């Protein structure tokens, strides 16, 4: 009887250990990394007019294998007294023009007044990408005379700006957009 009881107890313990191993093992199978430009908190900034439909973007290398985009992060300074709303766009990028937007649902973010780091959770939208991508924010409203200021780095791939139905590259200074991805 003791042997049977001991066998049942050991089986339960073994089963519980296996379940814990599988649960934590499944989480440990993926790794995260940050792509894009490194976060900056300096005095170097680049400004862009806030006009509905205009976009600010940078090119990022997502790698050869597909990754899931988890979180967009960037530094901004909103000198206005109101919040500025934007949506996130992600495009495959070959040569000089972006492809079709990979974002299938609107992802809305906002920049409150003042200088801060802005984060947008992308995980619920299950956006996957590989290769070169263009990660952009698109203004949802017009703010007459308003400009948004972004933290920048020099000689890091530049910034892309979309206005009047045309993408233009500013080669020297890149805004500090970066994305946390899951491999």
Q: What is the pLDDT of residue 21?
A: 55
The separation between the first and the last C-alpha atoms of the chain, rounded to the nearest angstrom, is 50
Cα(84)–Cα(130) distance, integer angstroms: 30
Cα(120)–Cα(122) distance, integer angstroms: 6
Task: Name the DSSP class of 38.
Answer: P
For each successive 10 residues of the chain (183 residues), what is the average pLDDT? 54 58 55 91 81 96 97 93 95 90 97 94 97 97 84 89 93 93 95
Contact by Cβ (8 Å): 61, 132:
yes
Contact by Cβ (8 Å): 147, 71:
no
Cα(55)–Cα(45) distance, integer angstroms: 17
| CA 6 to chain CA mean position, Å | 52
Contact by Cβ (8 Å): 66, 129:
yes
Q: What is the pLDDT of residue 23?
A: 52
């Amino acid at each position: 009887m003791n042997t049977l009881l001991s066998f049942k107890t050991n089986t339960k313990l073994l089963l519980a250990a296996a379940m814990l191993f599988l649960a934590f093992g499944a989480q440990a199978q993926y790794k995260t990394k940050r792509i894009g430009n490194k976060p900056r908190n300096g005095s170097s900034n680049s400004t862009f007019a806030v006009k509905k439909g205009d976009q600010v973007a940078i090119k990022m290398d997502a790698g050869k294998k597909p990754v899931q985009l988890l979180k967009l992060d960037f530094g901004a300074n909103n000198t206005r007294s109101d919040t500025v709303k934007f949506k996130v766009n992600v495009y495959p990028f070959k040569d000089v023009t972006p492809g079709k937007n990979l974002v299938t649902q609107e992802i809305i973010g906002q920049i409150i007044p003042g200088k801060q780091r802005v984060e947008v959770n992308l995980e619920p939208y299950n956006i996957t990408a590989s290769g070169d991508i263009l990660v952009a924010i698109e203004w949802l409203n017009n703010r007459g005379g308003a400009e948004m200021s972004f933290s920048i780095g020099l000689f890091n791939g530049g910034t892309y700006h979309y206005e009047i139905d045309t993408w233009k590259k500013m080669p020297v200074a890149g805004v500090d957009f970066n994305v946390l991805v899951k491999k």
